[in-house]
Structure 1
Amino acid sequence: MPLRRTPLPEWVIARRRELGERLVSTRRAAGLSQDQLADRVGVERRTIQRYESGERDPRYTDLLLIADALGAPLVELVQE
């Protein structure tokens, strides 16, 4: 994957962190570990860790699968 030519704006980084925090709280409320969520979504545990830490942006398909696995509407995960 090619590298970005310009760094991401701070507001994008902040939103990514907020999404990660919502993923963590929703996952914990559902009583799932990162391993269990990763198994349900079909990704590695490290991928879930990266999403939750705000290190990576989840793919749309992964967001759909995460929302389904957590029993949460997608809009609740990505809201501002």
Structure 2
Amino acid sequence: MPSRLTPYPEWIHPHRRALGRRIRDLRTARGWSQERLAARIGAERRSVQRYETAAHTPTYADLLLLARALDVTVAQLVDVDPGPEGEPVQHDAPHP
């Protein structure tokens, strides 16, 4: 996967962490191990672990596979309130 030319802006990090928590919560609600989810999406266990801890961001294709495996839409998978203690997240960052 190509490297980014610049680091992600700070406002993205809470979203990445929230996505990871959502993946973990949906997986554990089904009683699945990381290995089982990984097998369902054709990935290695460590990929699921890295998504859940926000060490890596899933590709769009992996988001589609995760959503299908977890029986949710991609929108449901990524649309969570990532702000700590319910604080709103800045969405007014400039777009390139």
TM-score over 0.5 (shorter chain): yes
Deviation (angstroms), 1:67:
1.1
Query: Would the alpha carbon gap of residues 52 and 5 (structure 1) be closer, same or farther in structure 2, given more than 3 Å must change?
Result: same
Deviation (angstroms), 1:34:
0.3
Q: Which runs of 5+ in 1 are unaligned?
A: none
Q: Could you say what secondary structure the match of 1:7 adopts?
A: coil
User: Which amino acid counterpart does residue 47 of structure 2 have in structure 1?
Assistant: T
Q: CA RMSD in A?
A: 1.4
Q: Could you say what secondary structure the match of 1:18 adopts?
A: helix
Q: Please list the CA deviations of residues 1-34 of structure 1 after superposition, one character each: whole Å capped at 9, or x if unmatched.
A: 5543432211111110110000000111122110
Q: Which runs of 5+ in 2 are unaligned?
A: 81-96
Structure 1 or 2, whichever has the larger Rg, is 2
Q: Please list the CA deviations of residues 18-57 of structure 1 after superposition, one character each: whole Å capped at 9, or x if unmatched.
A: 1000000011112211000000100000000110000111
| Alignment TM-score, normalising by the size of structure 1 | 0.89
User: Which amino acid counterpart does residue 36 of structure 1 have in structure 2?
Assistant: R
| Alignment TM-score, normalising by the size of structure 2 | 0.75
Q: Provide the residue aligned with 1:48 in structure 2.
A: 48
Moved >6 Å (runs of 4+)? none
User: Which amino acid counterpart does residue 32 of structure 2 have in structure 1?
Assistant: L
Distance 1:40 1:73 in 2: 16
